[in-house]
């Protein structure tokens, strides 16, 4: 009998989305008429189709695979040079130098943020924000690591800051944050970078929502902060940027400056280790998808992506304006597709879920699903249609007017 990885016993049952689906279906079955009115604003997936230049590039990729002269087998381990160069040029447009040799193309940021634990030992002090994207906590629990939560609260605007009296070795940061939509300023990120350097720690920076950042003083990359290449790995994804949730492509930057000493005094490069890890356990992203990804970063590609993001942002504004009028406190919604609001009248998040479902047939995501600190909050997303979002907000106005 195999001995199993019993760390899996320590995972919390991930019932968030199944519980939402279950409660929604049960309600619709009991109330067929009202069930037909349900609007889903809990969705964490994009809905706008791929841009035209991306589609063209994907088609070209497919055609190339059909001819012996242009057929592609296994690609270069880190990704095609053209794709990595296009990403490096995209960084440059935002004023940041990233060496294409530090970029690794992958099938998405979920795999990379989860797999990165392969590079680290099991006795690190690991800081993880709460609430946050659950992958960081679960991937650490799966390999037996202890984690220390750093709480997001109304006091810190859901942007936990370093505590100089506490040592850390590994720090996860998600900015703009899923689920809170909160986004660190450059000055705040500099505090984290200074803290990481003082502690010889590594920052694992998830920038999956960088393309949503529109406020000028908010950085889209940790490398906007001087010194960050000495302490930070950055994860990016085309999922929310370019609607690639189903197409699959992301990229991770592991600067060659990230060199640490092993216990025997030998120097180890995280870039070399990640290269070894990926070339051992991952065989790259398809040529076709990398052609599409390259097109995302062309001038026209960026314009098309921003058009879709603009559509989502219009939804976010409708939600934000409504909550403002109703005097419901919220975070996010400007440089993020997420709106994170405080459940009115002291409700807990699952209570709020039932209340909204039963009274106005609007479905969102209870904050408790993202960590203990989310239990009195609720996430709405702007990934629905404009019509549905506006209708849902009309119902919010009727439900909460004068009641909050």
Ligand X SMILES: *Cc1c(COP(=O)(O)O)cnc(C)c1O
Question: Given candidates 102, 206, 234, 294, which one binds ligand X under the rule CB under 6 A?
Answer: 206
273: left (phi over 0), alpha (psi -120 to 50) or beta: alpha
Nearer to ligand X among residue 250 and residue 369 (C-beta) = 250
Question: Given candidates 168, 174, 183, 323, which one binds ligand X under the rule CB under 6 A?
Answer: 174
Nearer to ligand X among residue 383 and residue 396 (C-beta) = 383
Nearer to ligand X among residue 109 and residue 318 (C-beta) = 109
* Among the residue ranges 89-97, 108-116, 157-165, 340-348, the one whose residues contact ligand X (CB under 6 A): 108-116
Question: Given candidates 78, 88, 180, 239, which one binds ligand X under the rule CB under 6 A?
Answer: 239
Distances (CA, A) of 133 to 44, 359, 374: 11, 29, 12
Q: How far apart are CA 323 and CA 397, in angstroms?
A: 8
Shortest Å distance, C-beta 113 to ligand X: 6
Indicate whether 178 belongs to the interface with ligand X (CB under 6 A).
yes
Burial string for 143-172 (b: 16+ CB within 10 Å, else e) reads: eebebebbebeeeeebbbebeeeeebbbbb
Shortest Å distance, C-beta 78 to ligand X: 17
| 305 and 74 Cβ atoms separated by less than 8 Å | no
Indicate whether 323 belongs to the interface with ligand X (CB under 6 A).
no
Identify any residues that bridge with 332 across adjacent strands, giving them in sequence order: 339
DSSP string, 290-305: HHHHHHHTSHHHHHHH
Shortest Å distance, C-beta 197 to ligand X: 24
Indicate whether 271 belongs to the interface with ligand X (CB under 6 A).
no
Give the orientation angle of helix 349-360 with respect to helix 16-30, to 10 degrees: 30
Identify any residues that bridge with 237 across adjacent strands, giving them in sequence order: 250
Shortest Å distance, C-beta 314 to ligand X: 20
* Among the residue ranges 14-22, 32-40, 194-202, 235-243, the one whose residues contact ligand X (CB under 6 A): 235-243
DSSP string, 59-123: HHHHHHHTSTTT---S--TT--HHHHHHHHHHHHHTT----GGGEEEES-HHHHHHHGGGGS-SS
Nearer to ligand X among residue 190 and residue 248 (C-beta) = 248
Indicate whether 237 belongs to the interface with ligand X (CB under 6 A).
yes
Shortest Å distance, C-beta 152 to ligand X: 14
Question: Given candidates 46, 54, 57, 109, which one binds ligand X under the rule CB under 6 A?
Answer: 109
Residues that bind ligand X in the complex, under the rule CB under 6 A? 108-110, 133, 174, 178, 206, 208, 237, 239-240, 245, 250
């Amino acid at each position: 009998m195999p001995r199993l990885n019993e760390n899996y016993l320590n995972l919390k049952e991930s019932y968030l989305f199944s519980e939402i689906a279950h409660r929604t279906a049960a309600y619709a079955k009991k109330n067929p008429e009202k069930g037909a009115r349900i609007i889903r604003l809990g969705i964490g997936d994009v809905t706008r189709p791929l841009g035209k230049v991306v589609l063209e590039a994907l088609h070209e990729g497919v055609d190339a695979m059909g001819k012996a002269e242009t057929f592609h087998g296994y690609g270069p381990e880190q990704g095609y040079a053209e794709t990595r160069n296009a990403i490096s040029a995209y960084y440059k447009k935002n004023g940041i130098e990233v060496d294409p040799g530090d970029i690794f193309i992958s099938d998405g940021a979920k795999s990379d943020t989860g797999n990165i634990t392969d590079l680290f030992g099991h006795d690190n002090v690991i800081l993880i924000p709460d609430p946050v994207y659950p992958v960081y906590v679960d991937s650490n629990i799966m390999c037996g690591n202890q984690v220390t939560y750093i709480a997001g609260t109304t006091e810190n605007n859901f942007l936990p800051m370093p505590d100089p009296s506490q040592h850390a070795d590994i720090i996860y940061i998600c900015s703009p944050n899923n689920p809170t939509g909160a986004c660190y300023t450059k000055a705040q990120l500099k505090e984290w970078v200074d803290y990481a350097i003082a502690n010889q720690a590594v920052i694992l920076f998830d920038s999956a929502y960088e393309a949503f950042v529109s406020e000028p003083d908010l950085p889209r990359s940790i490398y906007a902060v001087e010194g960050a290449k000495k302490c930070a790995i950055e994860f990016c994804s085309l999922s929310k940027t370019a609607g690639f949730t189903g197409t699959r492509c992301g990229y991770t930057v592991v600067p060659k400056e990230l060199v640490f000493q092993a216990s025997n005094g030998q120097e180890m490069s995280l870039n070399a280790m990640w290269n070894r890890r990926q070339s051992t356990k991952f065989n790259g992203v398809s040529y076709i998808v990398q052609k599409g990804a390259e097109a995302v970063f062309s001038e026209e590609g960026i314009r098309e992506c921003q058009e879709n993001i603009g559509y989502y942002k219009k939804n976010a504004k409708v939600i934000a304006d409504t909550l403002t009028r109703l005097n419901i406190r919220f975070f996010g919604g400007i440089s993020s597709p997420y709106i994170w609001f405080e459940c009115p009248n002291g409700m807990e998040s699952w209570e709020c879920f039932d209340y909204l479902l039963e009274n106005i047939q609007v479905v969102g995501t209870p904050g408790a699903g993202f960590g203990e600190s989310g239990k009195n909050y609720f996430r709405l997303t702007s990934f629905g249609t404009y019509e549905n979002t506006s209708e849902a907000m009309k119902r919010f106005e009727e439900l909460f007017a004068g009641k909050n």
